Amino acid sequence: MPDRAALLLALLCLAAPAIAGEDAVGPADARRLEHLVLQDCGSCHGLTRKGGLGSPLTPEALAGQDRDLIATVILDGVPNTAMPPWRPLMTEAEAYWIADYLLKDVKK
């Protein structure tokens, strides 16, 4: 029995960083992600996120959308459109960070 408790504890510890979610994104990562959104999402969504080949990503355009949905779109893309899946290049925590960043009125 004590073995099981220990195992559970160990599992919990392992899981902790994942549960922490966006807390896993530190200030240096935040700067990198902000740059990514501006420049690399910007190549399709525009530097000001007013859209291009990709749809606008301004807080107004995304208003009412759920952060889970946005994070899922970022991670898995939109099939049969030009929106690529970013899962190979970022963690879930990073996708959630970007979703929150897009939903909040950061610029102007």
Partner 1 sequence: MTRLAAFLMCSVLAAPGLAQELRATGDMGVVVERATGSVLIVDQSDHAALARVEGFGDLSHASLVFSPDERFAYVFGRDGGLTKLDLLTQKIVGRVVQAGNSIGGAISDDGKLVAVANYEPGGVNIFDADTLEQVAAIPAGGKALGLEDAPGRRFVFSVWDTGETRIVDMSGAEPKVTTLTNIGAEPYDALITDDGRTYIAGLFGEDGLSAIDLWAETPTARRILPHYGRGQQEMPVYKMPHLEGWAKAGDQIVLPAIHHHEVLWIDARTLEETGRTQTHGQPVFAMARPGGRQVWVNFAHPDNDTVQVIDSMTHQIVGEMVPGPAVLHMEFTARGTEAWVSVRDENKVVIYDTTTLKPIGEIAAESPSGIFFTARAHRMGL
Q: What residue ranges bind ligand HEC (CB under 6 A)?
A: 36-37, 40-41, 43-45, 53-55, 57, 61-62, 70, 73-74, 78, 81-84, 86, 98
Q: Is 85 in the site for partner 1 (CB under 8 A)?
A: yes
* DSSP 8-class letter at 84: -
34-63 binders of partner 1 (CB under 8 A): 35, 38-40, 42-44, 46-48, 50-53
Choices 22-30, 32-40, 57-65, 100-108; region in contact with partner 1 by CB under 8 A: 32-40
CB distance 24 to 53 below 8 Å: no
CB distance 103 to 70 below 8 Å: yes
**Cα distance between residue 44 and residue 53, in whole Å:** 5
Q: Which does 55 bind (CB under 5 to 8 A by kind): partner 1, ligand HEC, none?
A: ligand HEC
**Cα distance between residue 61 and residue 34, in whole Å:** 19
Q: Is 106 in the site for partner 1 (CB under 8 A)?
A: no
Q: What are phi and psi of 98, to 5 degrees?
A: -65, -40
